[in-house]
Amino acid sequence: MPRLLPAALTALALIVPAPPATAAQTRKLPSESVWLADVHADMVGSRAFLADRVASAVAGERLAINLDIDNTSLATHYAPQQPVRVVRRFARFAHRHGVAVFFNTGRDDTEAAKMQRLLGKAGFPVDRVCTRHVDEDVVVSKQRCRQSFVDSGFTVVANVGNRSTDFVGSDYERAFRLPSYGNKLS
């Protein structure tokens, strides 16, 4: 009899259907217009924050913003190579106010020149693009890049990204977290 119990449980497991997927698991990405509205909502107050931070900078302080590229600066999923306009406005505002505009991407070193070219073509001011070394973890890369900006004498006042890997660490003052919809949007 005890030998029959495992066999019965196995048979039962085969005929009982798996629970249905949750809404979060089956939810598709929103339309481009919904995504853009969500991005805009997440960037509300970014220029006012930056204007206040520039006004309160101490003499000689070198300020910078750090921007992710894919689905943060460029609309990679919805409109490849096209700018995310609200982020571009923020970058241009920063540039006009003497704030360095740095980009930090999970793309590897082989794409650095391409990314710089695409960002420039999309109308972004570009002071520096930092990429991931081949075989380097994305989290390690993102932190290394931001730390390299700090080590170059900059204070990273705003960090804009859309994935949790963009925000690990504390080498920036303020985060602007754009939607990734449960990391479904890269």
Query: Which residue in 35, 112, 104, 31 sits closest to 70, CA to CA?
Result: 104
DSSP for 129-147, written as a single string: EEEEPTT--HHHHHHHHHH
Total-model pTM? 0.85
The tens digit of pLDDT for each residue in 9-34 reads 334 333 434 333 333 434 699 999 99
The tens digit of pLDDT for each residue in 89-146 reads 999 999 999 999 999 999 999 999 999 999 999 999 999 999 999 999 999 999 999 9
Domains in the chain with CATH codes: 31-177 (3.40.50.1000)
